[in-house]
Amino acid sequence: MRSPKDFFAPLAVGAPTPIREVPARPSRVIHFFDPSNEKMAAKVPDMVGTVDVLLGNLEDAVKADRKVAAREGLVAIAKATDFGEHTQLWTRVNALDSPWVLDDLVTLVTEIGDKLDVIMVPKVQGPEDIHYVDRLLAQLEAKAGLTRPILVHAILETARGVANVEAIAGASPRMQGMSLGPADLAADRRMKTTRVGGGHPGYLVRQDPPAGVEDAVHADRATYQQDLWHYTISRMVDACAMHGILPYYGPFGDIKDVVACEDQFRNAFLLGCVGTWSLHPVQVAIAKRVFSPSAEDVAHARRVVEAMGDGTGAVMLDGKMEDDASLKQCLVIVELAERLAATDPELAELYAV
Ligand code: 1VU
Ligand code: MG
């Protein structure tokens, strides 16, 4: 067992000091691109400033014979691009049991470590996976002479990972956050959905038959589709909140169904997630809209903060009781709005900051 006193000591001589708090930078939209795809890569420079995070993906969705091209493409893009103040550069490396991951980590940290903010690690099974990456990154940071630690983001996409979610979230001060990986998770759990995220028409509850109706089978009864991901997202949100790191939804594969995509993103936002992935340019605006609180919610939250004065006791506002707890809920909205407005002039105007 590691002593808590050692937790914030570098894991290699010459590596940067670990951080104590996850930097509060907007990450509503983590935009995925394949650095080996010339058309996509060409769009990256123009996306700087329009998304919070640009993520060069090296893992799933990159063909085996393009893995090296994707890695080299990311190095070239990172060296050639100024990501400015408000767009971070992340990568998703290959899985820890793959033949590519060691070269991914060695090449990326030593070549572009000064530009990389976060490394997303797929298929994390338990804290031991984070410990491995943690030590290796410290050694590579020392070798590369980096002065700022690269953070780690885990994808929750195995049954064992979900069972170990709290231990993963607290495995290292490098942990920045966690995303739901609904496709790999569904496969690992042997769920029977073939979709990438989103609901399923078969996962539903049915209204009771009307009172007095004996033939329940033929009665007209409404059905309501349920959220397949509610349990996992909620567990992930709790684990992240407990360890001071950030939870995210992940991919929504039905690119054309922008309505269901927005619904899935909003469910995650309401449950506590701070952002999501975009797989296609059409999902960028949806993610930004959903993960920025509405002007109405911000205005209401401010009214509650004002009405609550010193923050104790209870008041009535529009016929509803507000107290210390609802004040704290409103402060979550107000603080998020202020943080986003600080980097987004459109939101600053919308929220009248
Ligand atoms: O207009 P052009 O032809 O110059 O460009 C196309 C296309 O190249 C471009 N584009 C993108 N640009 C930047 N980033 C992107 N992610 C991106 N996606 C597409 O936009 C123009 C229009 O594209 P399109 O509508 O014709 O779409 P395509 O059929 O070309 O591509 C659709 C897919 C979904 C294949 C493509 O968007 C893609 O590969 N996205 C990334 C997928 C990904 O990263 N998957 C891994 C994460 S999800 C996961 O691991 C769990 C399942
Ligand atoms: Mg995957």
What are phi and psi for residue 44, nearest 5 degrees?
Answer: -60, -50
What pLDDT is recorded for position 4? 85
Return the structure tokens found at 229.
């991901």
pLDDT, mean of residues 195-200: 96
Which ligand 1 atom minimizes the distance to the CA of 60?
Answer: 50
Return the structure tokens found at 325.
């707890």
Q: Which ligand is nearest to the CA of 62?
A: 1
Which ligand 1 atom minimizes the distance to the CA of 44?
Answer: 13
Question: Do the bridges between strand 175-180 and strand 151-156 make them parallel or antiparallel, or are there none, so unpaired?
Answer: parallel
Q: Give the closest residue (by CA) to ligand 1 atom 2.
A: 39
- For ligand 1, the distance from its centroid to the CA atom of residue 317, given in whole angstroms, is 47
Q: Over 90: is that where the pLDDT of 61 sits?
A: yes
Q: Which ligand is nearest to the CA of 185?
A: 2
Q: Over 90: is that where the pLDDT of 195 sits?
A: yes
- For ligand 2, the distance from its centroid to the CA atom of residue 242, given in whole angstroms, is 26
Which ligand 1 atom minimizes the distance to the CA of 32?
Answer: 44
pLDDT, mean of residues 142-161: 98
Q: What is the pLDDT of residues 93-136, one digit of tens each?
A: 999 999 999 999 999 999 999 999 999 999 999 999 999 999 99
Rg (CA), the chain: 22
Of 71-75, 102-106, 177-181, 309-313, give the lowest mean pLDDT range.
Answer: 309-313
- Please provide the DSSP assignment of 17-66 as one string: PPPSS------SEEEEE-TT-HHHHHHHHHHBTTBSEEEEE-STTS-GGG
The residue length of the chain stands at 353
Give the residue among 123, 150, 130 at the shortest CA–CA distance from 138.
Answer: 150
Q: Which ligand is nearest to the CA of 281?
A: 1
Which ligand 1 atom minimizes the distance to the CA of 253?
Answer: 52
- Please provide the DSSP assignment of 182-226 as one string: HHHHHHHHT-S--SSSS--TTSEEEPPPPTT-S-GGGS---EEE-
Q: Which ligand is nearest to the CA of 36?
A: 1
What pLDDT is recorded for position 3? 87
What's the longest Cα–Cα distance across the chain? 76
Q: Give the closest residue (by CA) to ligand 1 atom 36.
A: 280
Q: Give the closest residue (by CA) to ligand 1 atom 31.
A: 280
pTM of the model: 0.97
Return the structure tokens found at 47.
């996306």
- For ligand 2, the distance from its centroid to the CA atom of residue 114, given in whole angstroms, is 27
What pLDDT is recorded for position 158? 98
What pLDDT is recorded for position 224? 96
Residues whose CB is less than 8 angstroms from the CB of residue 221 and which lie 6 or more positions away in sequence, other chains included: 206, 207, 208, 209
Q: Over 90: is that where the pLDDT of 5 sits?
A: no
Q: Give the closest residue (by CA) to ligand 1 atom 44.
A: 32
Q: Give the closest residue (by CA) to ligand 1 atom 1.
A: 39
- For ligand 1, the distance from its centroid to the CA atom of residue 65, given in whole angstroms, is 18
Which ligand 1 atom minimizes the distance to the CA of 37?
Answer: 8
Q: Residue 2 — very low, low, confident or very high, per pLDDT cuts 50/70/90?
A: confident
Residue linked to tokens 């790191």: 245
- For ligand 2, the distance from its centroid to the CA atom of residue 181, given in whole angstroms, is 7
Residue burial 31-65, b: 16+ Cβ < 10 Å; e: rest: bbbbbbbeebbeebeebeeebbbbbbbbbbebeee
Q: Which residues does ligand 1 sit against, CB inside 6 Å?
A: 32-34, 39-40, 43, 57, 60-61, 183, 196, 251, 253, 255, 279-281
